[in-house]
Amino acid sequence: MPKAKKEASIEDELPPLDDELADGPDLAVDEDEDDEDEPIDVPASAAGKASALRLIAMLVEKEGLALADGVKKPGPKLIEAIARVLESPGSLSARASKLSDAIVDSEDVDDLFVDDDVLVEILKRW
């Protein structure tokens, strides 16, 4: 009866590790690791844009926001910026600050008459 051949395992086919490499630091790059402060460039959803438009309309109606002269309705850049804030994660105070920045930085807006504390209260109920 012939002797059975030993099956080769994958370890048998790999070259031996150098002692220096085996004990050294793992220098692999983690490609999934993102900078948490870096905004993700994801467009706002249609529902987010509709919500942003309602928020702008409410602020204008309640005289908390004045659109710039000649602007009858907010432009797509302002709507997108507000929708992204509404859909973004984070604390209410951080989101309120981002919301006021997005509003004030828009060319469509003349002035914002509410502070971040009021925007926090609005976001709580939004």
Three-state secondary structure call for residue 66: strand
Q: How many residues does the chain have?
A: 126
Lowest mean pLDDT among 16-30, 42-56, 58-72: 16-30
Whole-prediction pTM: 0.66
Spatial separation of the C-alpha atoms in residues 105 and 39, rounded to whole Å: 17
What is the per-residue pLDDT across 62-119, written as a single tens digit (0 to 9) for each?
999 999 999 999 999 999 999 999 999 999 999 999 999 999 999 999 999 999 999 9
pLDDT band at 41 (very low <50, low <70, confident <90, very high): confident
